[in-house]
Structure formats: structure tokens, C-alpha cells
Amino acid sequence: MNPEDAAKDHGPVSIIADSGEWSPELQKARAYEQILLDIILGELPPGARLDEQTLTRRYSTGLAGIRDALGRLALEGMVVRRSRAGTTVSPLDLVDLREGYEARALIEPHCAAMAAKNATAEEIAQIASTFDDAERADREQDRRALIAMDQRFHALIARASRNAALARILIPLQHKAARFWVYSMGTTTEEERLADICLHRAVAQRIAARDAEGARAGMILVLGTMPQTVKRSLTGRGEEDAPSASPEASGAPAG
């Protein structure tokens, strides 16, 4: 697949907060998040070669922003950079998936509990509003919007925990898990997806109530639904087929 032709319309969805002000760092952050979302969605599929000049045209940004984004994504394991071979999108790896979920199950409920104790009023409002448009996005099968909401929700909670070390570990794990979540979306029902949105909102409510144990328990429920849907999506395929598969091959609705 040609990365320049894979997805023309990125829409207004953003993981980062939009201050309305332009800055070089904000432009770099937006380039990073759009490449990240396209990798998660499979619009930049596993194994795709990422040419820097092509990416500057695709995302209407400068070369410095693209190189910064690819460097960050390489550190997260979302892309692979090799001398002479260039940069490619990392394969889907079920070992990574299992290990990532095990790590998240240990870390993320604790981060939610810490966020209930430490989040500022502004952070609580941002967390609470993340899924405001989720029903519309699900109804219109807008996977880009749903993924952006989910990534922003989990990143906000990780940062609101006030433990930078845990946040640095957790956020890349969330990005990797999201690739498999997209892969499984074609096997979930509308009822299941709406129930998952409600589980996320319940965590936000517990954080707003400063209920640390309630936030911890709520996050455990959120994490518990994701491995089940991924496992079901792989039924009949065999694990050996999954690493090279893209979300487009799963029958997931097109974004």
C-alpha cells in the first residue's frame, strides 16, 4: 500500500488538547499523533515502508516534524528503523500483546487510583469529556474518532496519576494494544461497544468523585473487556496468521 494514498481525510480528531495556538512543537505533536493513528488503524499497515518525503506531503508538515515523529514511534516500538533499509511499520506481535496486557493489568488500575487522588480539576474535566461524542462516532463507524478518544482517555489518566515513570511505560503499551483492538472491532456488536464506552465513563466518574478504589476497580473492568474481544477476533485464524494481518483484513468497518 502507498502511504500517500492510504488515507486522504484525517478529519479533526485529535489525541492532544487543542489550544488553538500554532507552535513548532504543536505541529510536531500533531504529525506524531496522525502517523500513530494511521498505524493503529492499519492505514499504514504492518511492514509498510515509511518514506520521509512522502509523509511530509501526506501530513502537510515539515521534514523535522516527520523525523521527530518517527523517532518517537521507534522508541515506542511502533516502527522499526534500520540503516540503509529505512523505516517500516512494526509487525503485529501476539507475544507483545500478551505481555503488554499483563503489564497494563498491573500498572493501569494503580494509575487510575492515583489519578483519583492527584488529578487537577482541569484534568478531571478533560477525562470526563473524552467520550462525549462516542455514540455518534460508533453509529457512523468512525474508527479514527473512537481510537483517538480511547488513546486520549488512557493517556490523560496516566499523566494525571502524577507518576511520570509509570506514564512513560504505560502510554506506549496502550498504543500497541490499540492496534489489536482495531483488529477486533469487526467482531464486536453495537451493544458491546456501547457497554465499553459506559465502562470508560464509569472510570471517569470515579476519578471525579475522588474514589481511588472505585477508579481502580473500574479500570480493571475496562481492561478485562479488551483481551476477550481480541481473542474472539482471532478464533479460527490461528495465532501464526495474526502478526502479518492488518485491521482491513479483519472485516472491521472502514473508517
Q: Show the cell assigned to 240.
A: 501464526
Decide if 77 contacts 70 (C-beta within 8 A): no
pLDDT at position 10 over 70? no
Average pLDDT over residues 231-255: 41
Q: Show the cell assigned to 6.
A: 492510504
pLDDT given at position 94: 83
Between 25 and 132, whose confidence is greater?
A: 132
pLDDT given at position 25: 77
pLDDT given at position 26: 77
Tell me which residue of 47, 43, 40 sits closest to 174, measured CA to CA. Answer: 40
User: What is the spatial distance between Cα 43 and Cα 35, in angstroms, rounded to a whole number?
Assistant: 9
User: What is the spatial distance between Cα 185 and Cα 198, in angstroms, rounded to a whole number?
Assistant: 17
pLDDT given at position 233: 52
Tell me which residue of 9, 54, 4, 61 sits closest to 31, measured CA to CA. Answer: 61
pLDDT given at position 234: 54
pLDDT at position 135 over 80? yes
User: What is the spatial distance between Cα 187 and Cα 181, in angstroms, rounded to a whole number?
Assistant: 10
Average pLDDT over residues 91-100: 87
Q: Show the cell assigned to 149.
A: 478518544
Share of the chain above pLDDT 90, in %: 64
In sequence order, which ranges of 42-160 are alpha helices (DSSP H)? Answer: 52-59, 63-76, 94-118, 121-129, 134-139, 143-160
Over residues 181-230, the pLDDT tens digits come to 887 777 788 998 999 999 999 999 999 999 999 999 999 999 986 556 56
pLDDT given at position 229: 58
Between 232 and 195, whose confidence is greater?
A: 195
User: What is the spatial distance between Cα 41 and Cα 26, in angstroms, rounded to a whole number?
Assistant: 22
pLDDT given at position 8: 41
User: What is the spatial distance between Cα 144 and Cα 2, in angstroms, rounded to a whole number?
Assistant: 19
pLDDT at position 255 over 60? no
Please, which contacts does 226-230 make with residues 24 or more away whose CB atoms are closer than 8 Å?
A: 226/101, 226/177, 226/181, 227/101, 229/181, 229/184, 229/185, 229/187, 229/188, 229/192, 230/97, 230/180, 230/181, 230/183, 230/184
Over residues 164-183, the pLDDT tens digits come to 999 999 999 999 989 888 87
Using CB atoms within 10 Å of the CB of residue 252, give its burial: 0 to 12 exposed, 13 to 18 middle, 19+ buried.
buried
Share of the chain above pLDDT 70, in %: 78
